[in-house]
Every structure is written in structure tokens, then in C-alpha cells.
Structure 1
Amino acid sequence: MMMMMKKNTSYLVTFAAVALFVMMMMSNMSVSRAACVAMELQPCLSAIATSAPPTALCCAKLKQQQSCLCQYVKDPNLGKYVNSPNAKKMVQKCGVAIPKC
């Protein structure tokens, strides 16, 4: 009987460890993908509008939203801003690669 309890406990511990590992991996996946929310780039508006140097916050937000840039380019409301000369300068100054869409 004691051997059976040890075996069941071992299975439970293994199951709990695997479940914890899977949960950690799933949470890392959701964190690594930024949601495409154009309003997150609001700190970059002055750099786009006036050609002012981008702030550190702007560059950080731009890097978070980098995977969304093609989506923004294709959006009729946002494309003209993303494709503007000032936006292209800002992206370069922030060290973000300009995607080929």
C-alpha cells in the first residue's frame, strides 16, 4: 500500500511540474507578442509631426509594435503617417528595421 502511495505521489508531482512548465511557456508566448494597438505609438506623434528626435519612450513603443508596422501601413487611416518621411527617419533613429510589406 505504501509503495502505491509513493507511486501516485510521484505521478502527481510530475504532472504538476509539467503543468507548471506548460503554463510558463504559454505566458511567455503571450508576453512576447505585442498586441497591435496603434495608440501605443502616441509618444511618437511629435517626432512624426515635427521631425523632432524620437524620445526613448517612443523608441521603446516602436520596438514593441515593430511586428505591427505592416498592418499599420496597409490601414488607410494610418498608412500615410507610417509612410511619411518623418516616420521613416524616426524608425531609423530608433534602430528599428523597416519591414518589407
Structure 2
Amino acid sequence: MKASYIAVCALLLLLLARAQITVAVTCNPTQLSPCVSAITSSSAPSTVCCGKIKEQKPCLCQYLKNPNLKKFVNSPNARKVANTCGTPFPKC
């Protein structure tokens, strides 16, 4: 009985370790403000910028639908920054 209890606990721990935690992203284009200098100039993106791009990636298609944001988000430099950060631009 004790061995089966330990086996069940071990299995449960393995399952929990493999479970992915899903966190809802709040789409807020101002979160990309650390990327403004990298997108508007030739400067390299900061680690903060890359983190924000990865965080906001699920929102990029929504931003592209907004006429006020589309020019900024869809610019060649924005795509370059996203690629530099290791976050390929989504196909919307």
C-alpha cells in the first residue's frame, strides 16, 4: 500500500512538472514602449524590449487591425526587432 501511494505521488509530481501554466496576456500597446527607440532607429533592442515583444506577441494581430498602430507595428524595423528578439512575426 505504501509503495503504491509513493508511486501515485511520484506520477502526480511528474504530471504537474510537465503541465504548462497559461497566463492571460493583457493587450496593451503601451507595453511596447521600451521598443520605440529600436523600432524608430537602428539601435539594438534591449532585453526589456525583447521581453515585452514576447509577452505581447499574442496581441500583435490585434494591433495590426488598429489603423493607428498598424504603421508602427507593421514597419520593417518592427519586424526586424521582433526577429532580433527571437520572436518571429505572426501570420495574421
Q: CA RMSD in A?
A: 1.0
Q: Which runs of 5+ in 1 are unaligned?
A: 1-27
Would you identify which runs of 4 or more consecutive aligned residues in structure 1 move more than 4 Å? none
The equivalent residue for 1:94 is 85
The residue number in structure 2 matching 1:55 is 46
Larger Rg: 1
Other-structure match for 1:70: 61
Provide structure 2 residue ranges, at least 5 long, that are not aligned to the other structure: 1-20
Query: Which residue of 2 is the match for residue 34 of structure 1?
Result: 25
For these two proteins, the number of residue pairs brought into alignment is 72
Secondary structure of the residue that 2:67 maps to in structure 1? coil
TM-score by length of 1: 0.68
After TM superposition, give the deviation of residue 33 of structure 1 in Å: 1.5
More helix by percentage: 1
- 1:13-65 residue CA offsets vs partner (Å, 9 max, x unmatched): xxxxxxxxxxxxxxx64xx1210000000000001110211000000011000
